[in-house]
Structure 1
Amino acid sequence: MIASDGIDGVLNLYRCSQIGFPYESEIIGAAQSFSSRGLAQILSNENLFHLLDSRQREEIKFALAFPRRCLLSRMEARSIVRRLWPSSGLRRKCLELACVDLEALQKDYQNEMYALERWLDEQRFEESAFPRKRLPKLFIGAAMSMFEPQFSSYRTTFTKISCLIATMDDLFDLPTSNYEGLCHLRDAFQRWDASPVENLPQHKAIFKSFQQNLTEIAATARTIQGRNVLPYIKEAWQDVLDVFLIEAEWRISRHIPSFEEYLPVAVTSSTAIASLSTFILILGMPITDETLRFIGKDSRLLYLASLASRLTNDVVTSASEEAEGKLFNAARCHLKDDGNCTREDAVVTVKEMIDASFRELEHEMFRCRGNVPEECIRAVLGWVQAMCISYRKLDGYKSMKDTEYEELVKDYIGS
């Protein structure tokens, strides 16, 4: 039983246990297990529950619902304002300033969303290919991590490329998609020319949109980096098309690869590496070849970000994707390798891999500081956190049933 005067200590221990390096996994894991059980006990124990005021209850509920891996910085800020409002004296003045800041940013976000909606209309995608209602769900991932006004270009670029990724990913996953047509789309990326998809309207629209937007990003990046980065960007996205095609082959043949075969394909197809290695070039600071050793497309940092993102996705979406005929995911591949384990055991193993990848990611971010601009590290962490929060319960990007995520998006961006 936890004493009433120890509640704040348990809450702080839980928060601290969210950050740990790989070599601390045993002690950090024990602290996290103890503190999370303790907080759950506080909420369920009637005697302790009544000792808390409403603000403390909400603080504990929020901490348990949104651990660090799901806690985008502006989510936490909004939660604190709500818990402490209206308050009095100096604290009230600080809260009023925070509200003014949040409202001003929200106006910026709404203007950016209007521009993105116009951009989407110009892409000439079929409505079924990318429904407009998914756009805010992509935008919020950038808006909650790189929230300041000077990162407007980053937010809109993030959303545009995420929209194109989602459209192309859906095309590759469609049971009706012709494999030959997908090969032509891959060839268009390899040649950087639309002629292979000239007679495939949807494929051509996707390629032309990617080509135009990546070329525009490269032009913007050139003014910041002082060099032509288009070949670097093209190579990253050509890698994505290569693995998308491999996954299409697996889907069509109903092949379940070994985990060793699956993982490198899955890490690249999550698109975190290609996306982040592109986005960091337009954050406003020069990225040298030395910096790219730490945060480029071949870096350990982006590999870990992609690994954590993909495995998190797999845990939540595996059942629905298997029902649609996409039989390969981390748990299913592990199950194939180890015929003695159950599906539940395989999922537990994947979750342990997610925990381990986050601990190593924390260590890698710490190791990179001093060699990588802080804004770039924020962008990487923000990407992973956005993935974790969108896949916290369901596929938040596609599903309309995750009402909590829907409300979060509406609340943050505004109507």
Structure 2
Amino acid sequence: MALPALFSTFIVTAPPRTSLSLARNPSNTCALKPVQCIMTNPKTNDPDQGTPSRRNANYAPSFWDYSFVKSLSSDYAEEKYVKQVDELKDDVKSLIHAETEVLDKLELLDSVQRLGLKYQFQKDIMQAVDVIHNNNNNSADAWLSDDLYLTALKFRILREHGHTVSQDVFQRFIDDTAGKFKANLCGDVKGLLSLYEASFFGFKGEDIIDEAKAFSRTHLKNALKGEISPDMARKVNHALDMPVHWKLPRVEARWYISNYEQDDNMNQNLLKLAKLDYNIIQSVYQKEVSKLASWWMDMGLDKMAFARDRLVEHYFWCNGMVPDPEYSAYRDMGTKLICLITTIDDVYDIYGSLEELELFTDYVERWDIAEIDKLPMNIKTVLLAMFNTTNEIGYWTMRERNFNIIPYLRKQWVYLCKAILKEAKWYHSGYKPTTEEYFENAPVSIGAPLALFCAYFLTAEQITVEALDYIDKLPSIMWCPSLIVRLTNDLGTSSDEMERGDNLKGVQCYMNDTGATEEVARKYVDQLVHETWKTLNKDLLGSYPFSEPFISANANLARTTQTFYQYGDGHGIPQHWTKDHLKSLLVEPFTLSQ
């Protein structure tokens, strides 16, 4: 990752991968129990505790009682509710295809998506958006409206759905003399809010969009100090907390459904469908996480005293990346892999000696466990869990997709282990990496590329060598969300990790390189998040040898990590917002009116 002039410009480029030969080695009861998910049972003793110089991060135990997780169930899985959904869908489809004013159509499409129903009406929404786009192209006056709200909403919806829209559509709102947005827009809170949300779909080099973001943010904050309606204040605070483009679809659906009831344009059938659909999908998720809880306990990895026990949080990662109900296989096997990624990360970062970590990496690279007894019990258990789970996933892929994925998956494990080993060597030698060195390695060491790789082959209807070779090069569409995972993780966790003596993170590397204060360094890393999103926005419009849901999974990975680390470390030390999101997702259904 070449980063010339790193501290004054933002360049996001994936480093080349090291070539590795594939041939080297062939009833709604859940609503009644939300308080039961507190865990009080301590972990068992560490069998390797007597080994000299073992470190322990003293991670908090799991928030979840796995007996409770295994018991999750809901009567919304019953067929009668599915039939109700089918009936309501016909009504919503008619609304989507009805001839209405463009503003009414855009607001409807926006609501359908934010209510969590996009997957139900994917083709209908695309057809409606295409009609709006084609009408714009056929009309010279399509973008001449003086309505900032309408212009920004249309810009956002069209870009979100892959249409190229020039930033110049906002030129009419710019004061030609000052080169800034016109002062009379400051009082248009609804328009400012729409402009703010649209600004997060910007590309690199779009100065008008950058100005739109700064202008709208400043005046929305000012508006909160003045006299605006409680409803508008709630919407502004929600957007300033995190823009809709960065929010997880299921998290946004929970909030939007609750607030849609108070909307002046609320459609009763659409609201009923959204609540019913949310509850039905929740019942699907409950079955998935219940099954995973049994797997996790059977594996015994929840008893590793040095490692993070975060099964349900890891399920949230996979759910965030690919939430549509038909991709249950990915959420099942992807969660298992992310559990292993985190446990292996704790082996390298905290628990293992450098000699043990080099052995571990060597066994993974050779894909050979013949000499595994050289490792202590805990590390040996983790390595065997990795091998067994990889083989289990390989068997599923061979059976369901007629493709042997194990050689490719093995390569991804090697990439990960080598990247974490590099950081372990830095730690054990006392070496302080430069910012450039750190960001060449850290997006891989955090496990994001491996998680994305799994999102491809576990969701693709047909796995192709062309796509696998393309993914192996870690293209920008994958590198950007991987970098965002690392950047947001560093912002949320670096202070705690430095206190316990871990490797330097991005914030500290920047401080060492430049002499900047921590506040300045954190602002730099935060700005890099914004710049990386601009690159990713452009990437999402590209042409690739793969399709949905993998393309969206890349952006959703970035959204998931920003949800976890928005206010701090919501993963290693699950905080109230993580718990609230998971309760909403898995435990607490909407109440339906009779």
TM, length-normalised to structure 2: 0.64
Q: Measure, in 2, the Cα distance between the counterparts of 1:4 and 1:333.
A: 40
**Would the aligned equivalents of 2:490 and 2:506 in 1 still touch at CA under 8 Å?**
yes
From 58, 61, 64, give the equivalent of 2:240: 64
1:99-133, CA deviations, whole angstroms, 9 ceiling, x for partnerless residues?
1111111111111111111000111222524565x
Q: Measure, in 1, the Cα distance between the counterparts of 2:446 and 2:367.
A: 22
**Larger radius of gyration between Structure 1 and Structure 2:** 2
Tell me by how many angstroms 1:22 deviates: 1.2
Q: Measure, in 1, the Cα distance between the counterparts of 2:369 and 2:321.
A: 35
Q: Does 1:365 align with 2:540?
A: yes
- Once the two structures are superposed, the pairs formed by residues 309-320 of structure 1 within 5 Å of their partners are 309-320=485-496
Q: Does 1:42 align with 2:223?
A: yes
- Once the two structures are superposed, the pairs formed by residues 266-345 of structure 1 within 5 Å of their partners are 266-292=442-468, 295-339=471-515, 341-345=516-520
Q: Does 1:115 align with 2:291?
A: yes
Q: Measure, in 1, the Cα distance between the counterparts of 2:186 and 2:525.
A: 36
What SS does the corresponding residue of 1:279 show, helix, strand or coil?
Answer: helix
Q: Measure, in 1, the Cα distance between the counterparts of 2:265 and 2:192.
A: 29
From 200, 203, 210, give the equivalent of 1:18: 200
Q: Measure, in 2, the Cα distance between the counterparts of 1:156 and 1:20.
A: 34
Partner of 1:407: 580
Identity %: 26
Change (3 A) 1:144 1:273: closer
Q: Which moved more, 1:59-68 or 1:283-292?
A: 283-292
Partner of 2:314: 138
**Would the aligned equivalents of 1:70 and 1:385 in 2 still touch at CA under 8 Å?**
yes
Tell me by how many angstroms 1:221 deviates: 2.8
What is the Cα-based RMSD across aligned positions, in Å? 2.3
Letter in 2 for 1:375: P
Q: Which moved more, 1:107-116 or 1:54-63?
A: 54-63
Aligned residues: 404
Letter in 1 for 2:451: S
Tell me by how many angstroms 1:350 deviates: 2.0
Letter in 1 for 2:199: S
Change (3 A) 1:76 1:90: closer
Change (3 A) 1:93 1:145: farther
Q: Measure, in 1, the Cα distance between the counterparts of 2:438 and 2:422.
A: 10
Partner of 1:232: 408
Tell me by how many angstroms 1:411 deviates: 1.4
Q: Measure, in 1, the Cα distance between the counterparts of 2:289 and 2:199.
A: 36
**Would the aligned equivalents of 2:314 and 2:335 in 1 still touch at CA under 8 Å?**
yes
Q: Does 1:398 align with 2:398?
A: no
Tell me by how many angstroms 1:93 deviates: 1.6
Tell me by how many angstroms 1:86 deviates: 6.5
- Once the two structures are superposed, the pairs formed by residues 33-182 of structure 1 within 5 Å of their partners are 33-45=214-226, 48-49=227-228, 52=229, 54-68=230-244, 70-85=246-261, 91-125=267-301, 126-130=303-307, 132=309, 134-174=310-350, 176-182=351-357
**Would the aligned equivalents of 1:141 and 1:382 in 2 still touch at CA under 8 Å?**
no
What SS does the corresponding residue of 1:378 show, helix, strand or coil?
Answer: helix
What SS does the corresponding residue of 1:23 show, helix, strand or coil?
Answer: coil
**Would the aligned equivalents of 1:21 and 1:359 in 2 still touch at CA under 8 Å?**
yes
**Would the aligned equivalents of 2:491 and 2:568 in 1 still touch at CA under 8 Å?**
no
Letter in 2 for 1:122: D
Partner of 1:201: 377
5+ unaligned residues in a row in structure 1: which ranges?
none
Tell me by how many angstroms 1:297 deviates: 4.7
Partner of 2:387: 211
Tell me by how many angstroms 1:55 deviates: 3.2
